[in-house]
Structure 1
Amino acid sequence: MYDDLQPHTTGGLLASLTRSHVDSLAELSKSYPQVPSDYVSFLQTLGWGEIGSSAFMLYEGLLAPGQIYADEDDSLAGIVLFGDDLQGYCCGFDTLKGWEVVEIDPVSRTAHAVADSFSSFIRDLLDDLA
């Protein structure tokens, strides 16, 4: 699924990633049975960590917004986060809208759809950073 991204793993944008341990992936799938398979596949084959030079941080798993934002409110209900741009904008899945990929505005704390799938999101991110 991600063979086309392998060149980025050697000295490229994905060189700093660490592959997720099988136990972590099993726990992720247990906690979120509907988690998109393309996201799990990315963590398994390419990993998690810093993408580019301080451009994006892909978390080892999914976080609740309350783990990032101290004053979480109901506007982020159903959102789980998988990463951030190291400048305040977090990205994640909206579990109430078919696990579409969303970006959270750090000021208004509103979610905006940015991609239909994780694989589309990550490829667009890499294209933007290249």
Structure 2
Amino acid sequence: MRLRLHYKVAAKLSVNFMVESEMERLSYHQVEAIKAEYGLLPEEYLRWLSERGWGEQESGIMLYSGPVHPNEIFGEQYPVALKEVLLVGDDMAGYSIGYRAANIGWQFVGFDSAGSELEIIEEGLSAYLKS
């Protein structure tokens, strides 16, 4: 299986741009580097990266090896709906998933690039990736 990794995330984590393997798990030090750069992210997400790994999941979702700011994918004119969002994956067909900073903590959200609004995904990352 050929996995893709966002090139800026790859540079930060010192891994190859393209990896020939199964899903790649992040080490403790890689998870700590993500925390140092982005602050407290949902534990469910960080645990998934360290226990299951990033890459194309069984559900077909491509989970990135770390959070990505929307401007790294959509450019400087990224959609306003993504203003407070860190993207963590996509379905390789225009639908992105991520976390939005909110007063109540992080909300797991989805965004269809053909639209302009965020969808709150109630089920959480683990259930979503298994569906």
Per the normalisation by structure 1, the TM-score is: 0.74
**Could you say if the C-alpha distance between residues 73 and 56 of structure 1 is closer, same or farther in structure 2, counting changes exceeding 3 Å?**
closer
Structure 1 residue 38 displacement after superposition: 1.1
Distance 2:70 2:120 in 1: 16
Runs of 4+ that moved beyond 6 A: none
Structure 1 residue 77 displacement after superposition: 1.2
Contact 1:115-1:121 within 8 A present in 2 as well: no
Q: In percent, how many aligned pairs have the same letter?
A: 27
Distance 2:43 2:102 in 1: 17
Contact 1:16-1:51 within 8 A present in 2 as well: no
Is the aligned partner of 1:92 residue 2:98? yes
Partner of 2:66: 61
Unaligned runs of 5+ in 1: 1-14
Q: Map 1:1-130 to 2 at 5 A.
A: 16-52=22-58, 55-70=60-75, 71-96=77-102, 98-115=105-122, 117-122=124-129, 126-127=130-131
Q: Write out per-residue CA displacement over residues 41-96 of structure 1, whole angstroms, 9 at most, x where no aligned residue.
A: 1111111001138x210000000111111231432111001100010100000112
Distance 2:93 2:79 in 1: 21
How many corresponding residue pairs?
109
Structure 1 residue 103 displacement after superposition: 0.5
Contact 1:100-1:116 within 8 A present in 2 as well: no
Unaligned runs of 5+ in 2: 1-20
Distance 1:52 1:117 in 2: 16
